[in-house]
Copies of this chain bind each other. A is one copy, B any other.
Amino acid sequence: MTVKVIRVGEDILSANEDKAGANKARLDKCGVLTVNIMSSPGAGKTSLIMSTIANLKDKLRIGVIEGDVASSVDAEKINALGIPVIQINTAGGCHLDANMVEYALNGLPLEAIDLLFIENVGNLICPNAFVLGEDRRVMIASTPEGDDKPLKYPAMFADSDCVLLNKIDLMPHLDFDNDAFRRTVTGLNPDVIIFPVSCQTGTGLADWYAWLTAAVRGKRGK
């Protein structure tokens, strides 16, 4: 009899991938385009979701899963817009995993959703390792964080389909080198799409809405 060795890191990630695959199959069956949104704390995940709801809610049926270490302030904001939302509190955990998302999916009317946002816990490191069953991985970087963040937290930039550079309205007050930022991001991830935006003023969001709408149509067309 061979000894069973549990490699904690590998086994956790492999179990998570299986569960994420099951989530994805379930979401595919209902035709839901699912977007995993990741960023540092305060980069603008909730603001982006709120702006997108305001802009697209007459065209697409949107649902939201909110991930936070504690509190339900974000879910309450989204609930006030009349959008189906489930809050996951990780109780200290620094990322969402596919198991948490499975629970949340049980509470959502998936047949009546075209576009599902999963707002991850604010963290530039661990969420990247845990797939959830999403179609698209989107990260938000914000200008006040500095142009060197892709150098210091490369994995999430390398693995995202799309990077939104948020808070560009603050650029005139910051020492942010836009060319250096772009150069590092595209060096890590040549296929990435970068949208410079301001969720505060609305600048640049039209391109994001168009990209998202095309992805939802693409999924329905399958």
Contact = CB atoms under 8 A, between A and B. Distances in A.
Contacts of A68: 152
A153 B40 contact: no
A43 B122 CA distance: 13
B125 A124 contact: no
Contacts of A206: none
Contact of A152 (B70, B93, B125): B70
Contacts of A174: 170
Given A40-B40, A92-B125, A152 B69 contact: yes
Given A70-B154, A151-B70, A125 B40 contact: no
A43 to B, nearest CB: 8
Contact of A41 (B73, B93, B152, B170): B152
Nearest to A70: B154
Q: How many copies of this protein are present in the complex?
A: 2
A214 interface: no
A49 to B, nearest CB: 14
A122 B70 contact: no
B8 A153 contact: no
A94 interface: yes
Interface in A85-132: 92-94, 121-126, 129
Interface string A171-188: 001110000000000000
14 contacts: A40-B40, A41-B124, A41-B153, A42-B146, A42-B149, A69-B155, A70-B151, A73-B148, A92-B125, A92-B129, A94-B125, A94-B126, A144-B144, A170-B173
Interface of A: 8, 40-43, 68-71, 73-74, 92-94, 121-126, 129, 142, 144-146, 148-149, 151-155, 167, 169-170, 173-175, 200
Given A40-B40, A170-B174, 8 more contacts: A42-B146, A69-B154, A70-B152, A92-B125, A94-B94, A94-B126, A122-B124, A122-B152
